[in-house]
């Protein structure tokens, strides 16, 4: 079967979702028609976190903040089961679950004066839920920070040609922010110039790679990058959003549109056949079951609790008009679904165009195809986003782009979004710790500098702490060992956010079935996945087992609080 068919089906479903379903949700449940609604970005404008922002610039920030490495890594791994399960979950999950969740978190936060979902939970359900929600989020973001820092460090070491363009982009973004907000220039021309400069330095990086492994061991080079990345994320998270966050994300959104455009052009030019089966035989030895692992493996490519944190953490404080929420919230997730679709196509068709390559979990391969890349679950999960870089690079080569340039472009695309998520997550963690300090009267946590330090220190520990992997008995960084917990707990956070939204709009007499059904489905999927992780960690790693049990306990407690709230409302006269 031609990969073009998968592209056309995928793009059509995502377009129809935005065209029709987002309007239904926005009008019937979220009521976003009022263009004169008082916005927190204007009411609390401080030039730091609350900054009224044009919708296309805010879309760039929101889109690139949620579109980190996860929607690329997840589909690349999930292609192990074949193209059909991955494609169905990405498309249906994005349209009916993920985008509805992101849109709702953004609108509700705006209507509650920029408050976080955890804070809204305190008035919607109970004050106890607020503290539990905050603890759950804090644990999750520490893991996000650790894993994304490690993923970027791995890519810097494996593709050193990406180092120069990624770091030069920071300087370009700061200069662009100055032009937009201090010189009041229109954004179009500076952003196009910035994008052109970025691609120029992609070429420079290809010619002049910066490789620390020439003077130190590979792991030492990765550790050095991890430290530098956390220093960067701490500084970036403390800067006003207009100086770096917004302009860099705006450049990255253009970069993604160009990158996706080139990928889809490459598909139409090369017309690679789908190399993977529709559904892999689940009776093969060593093939894990689809349920619940598929749903938590793709995770952010379909629905993600982290997106709700971005919506209610940074984006709601920058939204200029309530009507912009549909493009930013629902449209941002449609963009992420498109990225996950491209990643899937690269994994199930693009890699068939690759000849000699080096796979992280295998080593040198003379002739790559789906059967070689996905010969075992251990190799598929160990190769992470390599299918996107190699397969996507091969598609770009079909357009006449050199191999080195194509692979660097793909790597820069992945790292740009991962870096955006890294400093956005650090900023959000600061907000959450400030809120936790206010809720528990821990005054030091209300200080933005203290909160920033506490935001990154445990993440650094997860990146440098080596533990035994219960699945393979190999010694690995704790962040990678905990990654399966991230997939489940991240989507459970989405389910808990949907629970808050369901109760919030139910009390406003809105039709909440589009919120309730995704909530129930995700809760069943993710709690099953956490139980499976607890069984795997039991006896193999007491610390990881204990952390999983704590997360499960918080989930059960919050669900019980939600049920109690429903019963109280029903008992009212």
Buried b (16+ CB within 10 A) or exposed e, 469-492: bbeeeeeebbbbbbbbbbbbbbbb
What is the distance between the alpha carbons of residues 453 and 458, in angstroms, rounded to a whole number? 9
Select from 3.40.50.150, 1.20.1740.10, 1.20.1600.10, 1.10.10.10 the CATH code of 3-571.
Answer: 1.20.1740.10
User: What pTM does this model have?
Assistant: 0.88
Coil, strand, or helix at residue 509? coil
Task: Give the pair of three-digit tokens for residue 328.
Answer: 């930013």
Among residues 297, 303, 294, 298, the alpha carbon closest in space to that of 522 is found at 303
The DSSP code for 351 is G
What is the distance between the alpha carbons of residues 90 and 71, in angstroms, rounded to a whole number? 9
What is the distance between the alpha carbons of residues 300 and 56, in angstroms, rounded to a whole number? 22
What is the distance between the alpha carbons of residues 408 and 202, in angstroms, rounded to a whole number? 7
Q: Residue-wise pLDDT tens for the chain (573 aa)?
A: 889 999 999 999 999 999 999 999 999 999 998 888 999 999 999 888 899 998 988 998 888 888 777 788 889 999 999 999 999 999 999 999 999 999 999 999 999 999 988 889 888 888 888 888 888 888 888 988 888 888 889 889 888 999 999 999 899 989 988 888 887 887 778 888 888 998 899 999 999 999 998 889 988 999 999 999 999 999 988 988 888 877 887 788 888 888 888 999 999 999 999 989 999 988 888 888 888 889 988 888 899 998 998 999 889 999 999 999 999 999 999 999 999 999 999 999 988 888 877 787 777 877 788 888 898 888 888 787 788 888 888 899 999 988 888 888 888 888 887 888 888 889 989 989 998 898 888 889 999 999 999 999 999 988 888 777 665 666 777 777 776 677 788 888 899 899 999 999 999 999 999 999 999 999 999 889 888 888 887 877 787 788 888 878 888 888 888 888 888 888 876
Each domain of the chain, given as residue ranges in start order, spans 3-571
């Amino acid at each position: 079967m031609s990969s073009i068919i998968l592209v056309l089906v995928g793009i059509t479903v995502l377009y129809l979702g935005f065209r029709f379903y987002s309007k239904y949700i926005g009008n019937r449940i979220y009521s976003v028609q009022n263009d004169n609604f008082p916005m927190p970005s204007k009411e609390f404008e401080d030039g730091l976190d609350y900054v009224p922002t044009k919708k296309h610039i805010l879309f760039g920030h929101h889109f690139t903040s949620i579109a980190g490495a996860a929607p690329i890594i997840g589909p690349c791994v999930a292609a192990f089961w074949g193209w059909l399960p991955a494609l169905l979950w990405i498309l249906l999950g994005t349209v009916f679950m993920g985008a509805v969740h992101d849109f709702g978190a953004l609108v509700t936060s705006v209507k509650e004066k920029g408050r976080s979902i955890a804070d809204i939970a305190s008035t919607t359900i109970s004050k106890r839920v607020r503290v539990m929600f905050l603890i759950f989020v804090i644990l999750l973001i520490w893991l996000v920070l650790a894993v994304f820092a490690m993923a970027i460090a791995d890519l810097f070491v494996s593709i050193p040609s990406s180092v120069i363009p990624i770091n030069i982009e920071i300087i370009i973004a700061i200069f662009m922010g100055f032009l937009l907000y201090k010189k009041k220039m229109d954004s179009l021309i500076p952003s196009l110039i910035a994008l052109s400069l970025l691609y120029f330095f992609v070429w420079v990086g290809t010619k002049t790679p910066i490789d620390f492994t020439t003077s130190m061991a590979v792991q030492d080079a990765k550790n050095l990058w991890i430290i530098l990345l956390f220093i960067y994320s701490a500084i970036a998270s403390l800067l006003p959003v207009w100086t770096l966050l917004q302009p860099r994300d705006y450049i990255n959104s253009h970069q993604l549109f160009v990158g996706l455009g080139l990928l889809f052009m490459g598909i139409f030019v090369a017309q690679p056949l789908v190399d993977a089966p529709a559904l892999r035989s689940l009776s093969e030895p060593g093939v894990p079951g689809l349920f619940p692992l598929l749903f938590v493996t793709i995770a952010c490519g379909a629905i993600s609790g982290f997106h709700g944190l971005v919506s209610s953490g940074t984006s709601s404080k920058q939204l200029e008009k309530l009507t912009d929420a549909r493009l930013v919230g629902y449209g941002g997730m449609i963009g992420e679904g498109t990225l996950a679709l491209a990643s899937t196509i690269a994994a199930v068709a693009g890699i068939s165009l690759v000849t000699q390559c080096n796979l992280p979990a295998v080593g040198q391969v003379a002739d790559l195809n789906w059967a070689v890349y996905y010969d075992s679950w251990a190799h598929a999960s160990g190769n992470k986003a390599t299918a996107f870089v190699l397969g996507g690079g091969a598609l770009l080569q079909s357009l006449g782009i050199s191999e080195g340039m194509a692979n660097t472009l793909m790597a820069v695309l992945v790292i740009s979004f991962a870096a955006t998520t890294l400093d956005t997550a650090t900023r959000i963690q600061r907000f959450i710790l400030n809120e936790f300090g206010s809720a528990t009267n821990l005054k030091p946590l209300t200080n933005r500098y203290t909160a920033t330090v506490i935001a990154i220190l445990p993440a650094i520990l997860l990146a440098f702490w080596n533990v035994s992997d219960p699945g393979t008995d190999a010694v690995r960084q704790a962040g990678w060992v905990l990654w399966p917990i991230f997939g489940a707990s991240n989507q459970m956070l989405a389910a808990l956010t949907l629970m808050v939204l369901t109760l919030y709009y139910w009390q406003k007499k809105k039709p909440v079935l589009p919120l309730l059904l995704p909530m129930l489905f995700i809760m069943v999927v993710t709690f099953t996945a956490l139980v499976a992780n607890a069984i795997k960690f039991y006896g193999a790693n007491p610390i990881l087992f204990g952390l999983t049990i704590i997360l499960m306990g918080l989930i059960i407690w919050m669900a019980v609080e939600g049920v109690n709230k429903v019963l109280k409302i029903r008992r009212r006269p």
